[in-house]
Amino acid sequence: MPVWAPNIRPPGAGSYLALGVALGLTTGLTLNALRQLKGSRKPLLIRSPRETQLSKLSREEIDALPYPPDALPGGRDVETPYGIIKVFEWGPEDGEKVLLLHGISTPCLALGNLGQELVRMGYRVMIFDFFGRGYSDTPTDLPYDIRLYTTQILLALASSNVAWAGNDGFHLIGYSLGGGIAVPFAKDFPHMVRSVVLIAGGGLIRPEHVSWRSRLLYSTGIFPEWALEFLVRRRLMPKRREAMTETRMATQVVDRPKIKHKNSDANGGDGWDGATLLAHRPGHTVSSVMEWQLHQHRGFIPAFMSSIRHAPIYNQHKDWIALGRLLAERRKEAGWVDTSLPGLKGGSILLILGAMDPVVSKEELIHDATAVLGEDGFEAVVLNSGHELVMTNAIEVANTVAGFWLRLPGTE
């Protein structure tokens, strides 16, 4: 549960009407529309568009989707106790392995260009859709906390015919929410993770940036869940001529004033709503994939809401401090090759930040990372971009990451 939830006083009966009126003014809702959903029951597992949409389409229609199931090489559907996970894995089997974790809303396709660049450099890449996104199913009886996300990572790794889980098994890259997940995962499995890279990563976002409206919409145990889901869905649905992007979705996590900068993803310029997800499919942008997911994945809204409530986004100082200790241990043993600890090579992680990012403040993150990791526990690189830099600046990000890896101990 988010840190602000206990601070919301349980309302009386009249407060439900006040909430409906206040949010209704914002979203165009009426209380009658909300009541229509009151009797609906949520299944324990919501299937992805793989089952609910693809069976109704021709091959040509599937190929024309903003996110076709074979958009990237090496795709597979992994059966798990939590539903099917969509995984893509490609690149040379003998290359260093890289696992990429995507953000809170855009499916793993958002990391496609970065993945392609890394494969071109000789790396073996794996990406997958988080539960409730893209073509992964949505379990509804579990909180979307670090336990569920850690389980999903391990299930995806175990589905490969290539060994990923040994000492120094893979580089870990987390974007936005994926960055918040990467830190506790590396803390719990430090021997497996060769290095950690956070791209506009969450985890240390300060909760004071959450607006009062978001505190109400993403609260638990106060208002009926069916009403909150309906309100969130209507709030997120793009209006006419409005682009839906990862940045706009991430403003549900924070509520900062927009930073004005010509033609950037921080203010809605061409680089924002026109960002192409895959170089070989130039007609499909971030906004088209997000709109497809909002309309076609029935489990997206529950997964999105639960992630805001339970995922490691805010105030995760305890895990970052624990990771900082592990990094310090590696730095202490530097040069003692025969006795060095596995994983977290070099004792430092890489932060890649956007200069105009309205979601993850570069000043705040560098300040807070210094406090929990120490000055020697990380390197920071700031790019001329906003929150969607992993999509708009994929080549620059790939070169930055590869340069960091080349400086790690034991790299030829």
Count: domains in the chain: 1
> In angstroms, rounded to a whole number, what is the distance separating the alpha carbons of residues 165 and 156?
11
pLDDT of residue 43: 87
pLDDT of residue 34: 46
Using the predicted structure, report yes or no on whether residue 17 has a pLDDT greater than 80: no
- Has residue 375 been placed in a domain? yes
Using the predicted structure, report yes or no on whether residue 253 has a pLDDT greater than 80: no
- Has residue 161 been placed in a domain? yes
Q: Tokens standing for 343?
A: 């994983």
Question: What is the per-residue pLDDT across 144-171, written as a single tens digit (0 to 9) for each?
Answer: 999 999 999 999 999 999 999 999 999 9
Question: What is the per-residue pLDDT across 95-151, written as a single tens digit (0 to 9) for each?
Answer: 999 999 999 999 999 999 999 999 999 999 999 999 999 999 999 999 999 999 999
- Has residue 412 been placed in a domain? no
- Has residue 411 been placed in a domain? no
The whole-number average pLDDT for the span 19-29 is 44
Domain ranges, residue 259: 5-406
Specify the 3-state DSSP secondary structure of 372.
Answer: helix
Q: Do 212 and 189 form a contact (C-beta atoms < 8 A)?
A: no
The whole-number average pLDDT for the span 166-177 is 96
pLDDT of residue 222: 81
Using the predicted structure, report yes or no on whether residue 261 has a pLDDT greater than 50: no
Q: Of 200, 179, 173, which is closest to residue 385 (Cα–Cα)?
A: 200
- Has residue 356 been placed in a domain? yes
Give the pLDDT band of residue 370 (cuts 50, 70, 90): very high
Report the CATH number at residue 90. 3.40.50.1820
pLDDT of residue 203: 96
Using the predicted structure, report yes or no on whether residue 344 has a pLDDT greater than 50: yes
The whole-number average pLDDT for the span 26-52 is 67
DSSP 398: H
- Has residue 221 been placed in a domain? yes
Question: What is the per-residue pLDDT across 262-316, written as a single tens digit (0 to 9) for each?
Answer: 443 443 334 444 566 776 776 777 788 888 999 999 999 999 999 999 999 999 9
- Has residue 286 been placed in a domain? yes
Residue type, 115: G
pLDDT of residue 244: 61
**337: Cβ–Cβ under 8 A, 6 or more apart, which residues?**
none
DSSP 32: H
> In angstroms, rounded to a whole number, what is the distance separating the alpha carbons of residues 11 and 30?
20
Instruction: Produce one character per residue of 269-303: b if its CB has 16 or more CB atoms within 10 Å, e if not.
Output: eebbbbbbbbeebeebbbbbbbbbbbebbbbbbbb
- Has residue 283 been placed in a domain? yes
- Residue 407's alpha-carbon distances to 340, 349, 402, 412, in angstroms, are 17, 12, 9, 9
